[in-house]
Structure 1
Amino acid sequence: MPRENSFSDSEGRSVTPDPEDEDFIISPASPNYSQRPPMINVHERAELDRVKSRTSKKSMHSKVSRAHPSAATGPTRGWALLPPKEKFRAAVRKIMAIRRGTTFNSLGARIGAEPGVDPRRASADATYGHIHRHCEIEIVDYSALRCISRKFTNEEFIDLMDQDSPEPVKRDPWVKVRWINIGGISWDVIKALAIKYDLHPLALEDVVKGNPRTRSKADYYTKHLFLRVLCHQLAEGEQNPGITGPERTTSPEPLEDEYDTRSPSEEKADEDRTRLGSPTSFRRRKNPVLPTSQKDVKFSNMSSAESPNSLSKLLMRESAAKAARETRQKEEASLKAVKHGERVEVDVSSMFLFLFRDGTVISLHPSTSLTFTAPISQRLRALDTVLRKSADPSLLIYAILDLIVDRALQVIDQYHANINQYEHDILLRPKMKTVRRLHILSGDLILHKRTLEPIKTLVYGLRRYDVDRCAALVDSSDPANAGIPIVGFMSHKSKIYLADVYDHMEYILSSLDMFAGIAENLIGYTFNIASYEMNEVMRRLTVVTIIFLPMTVLTGYFGMNFVDFWSVNNNSDVFFWILALPILGLTFLVVLFSDIEKLFYYLKKRSETKKIMNDSPFNRKF
């Protein structure tokens, strides 16, 4: 099978090696990544000589190749044939090759790559080995009568998940449900868990590549049910870190020029072996050729116009992707800084759940603390709870979903309190500061609705389509599967309790719609009030201007310079007021006639209302 995320150069050679094509590998069989060099036979001796030649930059007939003449007589270990210096140099080149190949795979060849994450492959260790945290792990074994809780560190948990044994971890006969609760995402823990319980590669990919903005979903597999649920809770202090960044913390530097001591004839022979392969290469996969020298870089640059996965294009693509990612992160950080202090701080993280038919439940949360699931642990210690009485693993899944929804209800209550406060402020005195907060709140509500609505669909699917999806896992075309009873992962009792979770999700989503509508109405009301106040100011200015317009006209008339001016020469200033006051009164009545009419109508209705209330029998004293 081709290696995950592998690709070839312009000559058709594999740029990323396979474990079976290497002379020594880092075996993924154990969680501590112990090295187990494989055995090589006589036909693979030529490949070992070629690797040593490329590693030591010497001729095929160097001292290293002549030091063990008995290598062609029988099987032996390739690692033991190398001297200490060559071992060190080969190990360094091997690690560099894996890191480069993984980086190119993750940045330049994502389209069309093999889906899922297989923890048994060395490429998975190279890609996700940097994800390491000190997890808080709790294993709770319980039944209706007993409950035992144990906590482990990373190393202790990996020792418990003994990968040399293919069977699951043994449990006592009285244990009905085993809950493995893991706080923190660490590759060593996930790898040990995935190999021990045979987690599906697609589900494992969702765990290690978890994004806080991905949709909640339920995936049905043959051996287990996988749930990914987004948890919303009010932030308390610093937010819990999550696996939200890029898959690799750093990328390897471009290859440097190296001095090649081989002769032209040796280089030509090495190229022929590289392109044509050894006699045994036709029955195996294509020879892995990683860029380990300046010549490989030049060859890749020359073929850049023909190969879309050449080294130069991959490096350019990596730089462009890195620059775009940094720009996006800066923009998000700037926007978050602007909104800080004027929004409801909500932590959004993913909860991963696995439900097995043997009663095992696995939960993983990005937070390295188990405070999120602490209420469920306390309920399991009490004898009179539904979880202990039923000892049903699907009810434990319900309890975790109910806890997630209850945390979301706290977020909704906080938004309700903020909406009430903003409405009070706007009705009392509208301000643009309140409008800005309403705008931020409205945008957050839209985002929360997009992330919370899939949880409702998930709960509905668990209640309605659990058996149907389990039936879809059975191959009906196989006669051996005829008559097999279909049993869902969720019990009948858990489906009854999930109805309560579904009702809570209905309330949450309807509340989000209501809050968004109220926020939009308050924003519209604020701008309408501002427009109304502006119209009132303009109306008052217009009324004042019209009222004093006659006096302005008369003032201009009497201020004219005429030689013979009867109204000025034969009269005093009293004549001005005799003309101005009647005209002012007439203009006042004409301009404010509609307002005066409204005033009389208001006074009339108020008087009638007051009279009716006084004559009402409810106001009579007995």
Structure 2
Amino acid sequence: MPRENSFTDSEGRSLTPDMEEQGDGRESLEGMAVSPTYNSPAQRTPHVRMNASSEPPRSGRPNPVTSPTSRQSIRSRMTHHTNATNQRPSAWSGMTPLEKFRAAARRVIALHRSTTLLSGGGGRIGAEPGVNPRRASAEALYGHIREDCEIEVVDYSSVRSSFGHMTNREFINLMGDPGASQRDPWVKVRWINIGGISWDVIKALSIKYDLHPLALEDIFHTRSQNRSKADYYPKHLFLRVLCHQLGEPDELDGLSSSQSPTLTGELRSASPLPMEEPEDESEDFNEKDDVTLHGSGPNSRQSTTRKKKRMLFLNKNEKDLEAMMGPDSSGSRLTKLMKAEGAVTQARQKQEEHEISLEALKRGDRVNVKVSPMFLFLFRDGTVISIHPTPNLSFTAPISKRLRQRDTGLRTSADPSMLVHALLDLIVDNALEVIDEYHKKINKFERAILLKPQMKTVRSLHILSGDLILHKRTLEPIKTMIYGLRRYDLDRCAALIDTSNPENEGVKVVGFMSHKSKIYLADVFDHMDYILTSLDMFAGIAENLIGYTFNLASYEMNEVMRRLTLATIIFLPLTLLTGYFGMNFNLMWSVQQNSDLLFWEIAIPLMVLIIPLFTLPDIKRAIHYVHKRMTTKKAIKVLFSQ
């Protein structure tokens, strides 16, 4: 059966097969073809179930912890695939000329799609939204997002609980085996807590639970300054919440993460690229390269060898392409695309350099806040999925600790929406710690300004004011999201029902959030309101302190100029007369026939006249001040005399 959204020929075969399925690695670039039976069930690697305890745990990973009330842990029910090989015959054997022609045409289409993936700049604008993990293009675009995740799967009810820690491979095997991933009858809520983002884990998870492509796109394209939101889909509720957490003072300023690009490093309007540049794989493969992802053969669909050979073509640089296509191909479309991609990469590097320089200038007396997104999926069957970019579970450790205690509200209610509330409350509590730290900083700066204003303090206040504006932009949508979960949950679920379908008439609308969780969300809403009002207050205090500093500096400058003006006014007559009597004339009766007494006889009356004339406004203000003081004293005397 052809893939979704793919072109098919008259016989129903896909004209755009998966890049992993287009011939084996032993064929040359020109001679590679696709077998028309590549998707046949007989050619797939057989799956053999075995106990998970037969495989030693990875070093540094905790062993699965089983609750005393649980008979069987999650990992004890997992199955693994065997290291079997699946050798296929040559793709060209047994094919008619017509089939060979069609296979070659499909190969040309696949090569054309590869060049399309390399196009840069505006070529990615207007791409199809969403990420479909079943497409080969998604594998090519996101296949390099690899990380050793820490995964915890918790099954619990009001009476029992089970905890399991897994690695990437163990979790993928769990998602691929329906028997191992099936929940026991006593399980009311299953919480899949993933620390870190890796394409293989997200792909297995999305295929198992049918996550919406738009939600997956938000996971791989979310920046740290994006707005928190709640999206309602027919099968699940998706939440994207920005977490604000205090970092260590000696660490790099966490606010730099708010300006970091997405996982793919591209704009939101662009189609994604790999998270990081792959290592140079142009060397010959060694023996370890034959090790496959799921124990399959080097020519199977899951073989890492096939993926490496496929990426050798996709990651050619400009010189390699020119050498491969010949000296006369300098104006080819592929070379131009590579040049455009190089220009985009260079511009992105310059932008990153500017951002790093700006963050270096802002270092100092700041509040180190780490801003990172958390993604939550809530299903109607009681499954909750949480994904955090940090490859550890330290952020959600308080929730796991509460689930291990039988007398907590999470365990007694066994409500998946209450688990979502607990995660949201955890995020808000961390934001409250950030607000308290900013309160301490504001008090410190205010004390410094009142004692002795300095430009260094004003600089710190300016940076702090900008951080507060940024945090208000990222925290305010959380309040709107929580209000929407409490107020419009049923309305949004009702909007998902297709009223044009007669079968949906009379269907009862059931929201994702329970009545109890809505009551508890009111407390989270109050905390968010306190956080936002505190941010407004801190920003206002910072602006007032900055304005007070400059006003005080201006006042002091005015006082200095006023004193200089008074001195100038006082000595202006004396300076004028001194200049007159100091002229060196032979015939000057005022000097030759008089003493210095004449100088003072003229200077004193002139000073008596000029000084009051220039200081008349100050004299009026002094008289007004004395009058008010006398009036106040008289009123007080009259009050006490009665």
What TM-score range do you get, normalising by the shorter chain?
A: 0.7 to 0.9
Question: Secondary structure of the residue that 2:386 maps to in structure 1?
Answer: strand
Q: CA deviation at 1:564?
A: 3.6
Question: Secondary structure of the residue that 2:118 maps to in structure 1?
Answer: helix
Question: Secondary structure of the residue that 2:242 maps to in structure 1?
Answer: strand
Cα distance change of structure 1 residues 480 and 15 upon mapping to structure 2, 3 Å threshold: closer
- Pairing 1:104–2:118 present: yes
Partners of 1:98 and 1:126 within 8 A in 2: no
| C-alpha distance in 2 between matches for 1:363 and 1:344 | 27
Instruction: Give the number of equivalent residue pairs.
Output: 535
| C-alpha distance in 1 between matches for 2:484 and 2:276 | 37
Alignment of 1:18-37 (within 5 A): 19=21, 22-23=34-35
| C-alpha distance in 1 between matches for 2:321 and 2:100 | 18
Question: Secondary structure of the residue that 1:196 maps to in structure 2?
Answer: helix
Alignment of 1:165-244 (within 5 A): 165=178, 169-236=181-248, 238=251, 244=263
| C-alpha distance in 2 between matches for 1:112 and 1:28 | 38
Unaligned runs of 5+ in 2: 8-14, 23-32, 48-79, 266-273, 283-312
Partner of 1:474: 497
| C-alpha distance in 2 between matches for 1:605 and 1:468 | 66
Cα distance change of structure 1 residues 509 and 574 upon mapping to structure 2, 3 Å threshold: same
Cα distance change of structure 1 residues 472 and 123 upon mapping to structure 2, 3 Å threshold: same
- 2:451 aligned to 414, 419, 428, which one? 428
Partner of 2:145: 131
| C-alpha distance in 2 between matches for 1:472 and 1:34 | 49
User: What fraction of aligned residue pairs are identical, expressed as a percent?
Assistant: 56
Partners of 1:15 and 1:101 within 8 A in 2: no
Partners of 1:229 and 1:350 within 8 A in 2: yes
Partner of 1:324: 347
- Pairing 1:535–2:562 present: no
Question: Secondary structure of the residue that 1:171 maps to in structure 2?
Answer: coil
Unaligned runs of 5+ in 1: 7-12, 55-89, 256-288, 305-309
Which has the larger Rg? 1
Q: CA deviation at 1:176?
A: 1.4
Question: Secondary structure of the residue that 1:433 maps to in structure 2?
Answer: helix
Partner of 2:402: 379
Q: CA deviation at 1:174?
A: 2.2
Cα distance change of structure 1 residues 137 and 435 upon mapping to structure 2, 3 Å threshold: same
Residue 186 of structure 1 aligns with an amino acid whose one-letter code is: S
Partners of 1:383 and 1:389 within 8 A in 2: yes
- Pairing 1:250–2:273 present: no
Residue 407 of structure 1 aligns with an amino acid whose one-letter code is: N
Q: 1:365-389: per-residue Cα shift (whole Å, max 9, x none)?
A: 0111212112212222233322122
Q: 1:442-494: per-residue Cα shift (whole Å, max 9, x none)?
A: 22222222222221221122112211222222222222222221111100111
Residue 165 of structure 2 aligns with an amino acid whose one-letter code is: K
| C-alpha distance in 1 between matches for 2:4 and 2:350 | 33
Cα distance change of structure 1 residues 124 and 387 upon mapping to structure 2, 3 Å threshold: same
Q: CA deviation at 1:613?
A: 5.5
Partner of 2:435: 412
- Pairing 1:548–2:571 present: yes
Residue 142 of structure 2 aligns with an amino acid whose one-letter code is: Y
Question: Secondary structure of the residue that 2:518 maps to in structure 1?
Answer: helix
Partner of 2:168: 154
Cα distance change of structure 1 residues 44 and 111 upon mapping to structure 2, 3 Å threshold: farther
Q: CA deviation at 1:227?
A: 0.8
Partner of 1:268: none
Q: CA deviation at 1:14?
A: 7.2
Residue 401 of structure 2 aligns with an amino acid whose one-letter code is: Q
| C-alpha distance in 2 between matches for 1:221 and 1:160 | 25
Q: Which moved more, 1:397-406 or 1:445-454?
A: 445-454
- Pairing 1:588–2:611 present: yes
Q: 1:217-267: per-residue Cα shift (whole Å, max 9, x none)?
A: 112222211111111111225468896453342279999xxxxxxxxxxxx
Cα distance change of structure 1 residues 238 and 177 upon mapping to structure 2, 3 Å threshold: farther
| C-alpha distance in 1 between matches for 2:121 and 2:18 | 14
Cα distance change of structure 1 residues 244 and 486 upon mapping to structure 2, 3 Å threshold: same
Partner of 1:567: 590
| C-alpha distance in 2 between matches for 1:330 and 1:534 | 40
Partners of 1:102 and 1:127 within 8 A in 2: no
Partners of 1:423 and 1:522 within 8 A in 2: yes
Partners of 1:119 and 1:194 within 8 A in 2: yes
Partner of 2:461: 438
Q: CA deviation at 1:342?
A: 3.7
Q: CA deviation at 1:190?
A: 1.7
| C-alpha distance in 2 between matches for 1:99 and 1:399 | 45
Partner of 2:385: 362
- 1:113 aligned to 116, 127, 136, which one? 127
Residue 542 of structure 2 aligns with an amino acid whose one-letter code is: A
| C-alpha distance in 1 between matches for 2:192 and 2:435 | 30
| C-alpha distance in 2 between matches for 1:223 and 1:548 | 89
| C-alpha distance in 2 between matches for 1:29 and 1:594 | 101
Q: CA deviation at 1:194?
A: 1.8
Q: CA deviation at 1:50?
A: 7.2
Cα distance change of structure 1 residues 132 and 616 upon mapping to structure 2, 3 Å threshold: farther
Q: CA deviation at 1:293?
A: 8.5
Alignment of 1:290-305 (within 5 A): 297=325
Q: CA deviation at 1:552?
A: 0.8
- Pairing 1:491–2:514 present: yes
Question: Secondary structure of the residue that 1:190 maps to in structure 2?
Answer: helix
| C-alpha distance in 1 between matches for 2:181 and 2:278 | 38
Partner of 2:158: 144
Partners of 1:27 and 1:35 within 8 A in 2: no
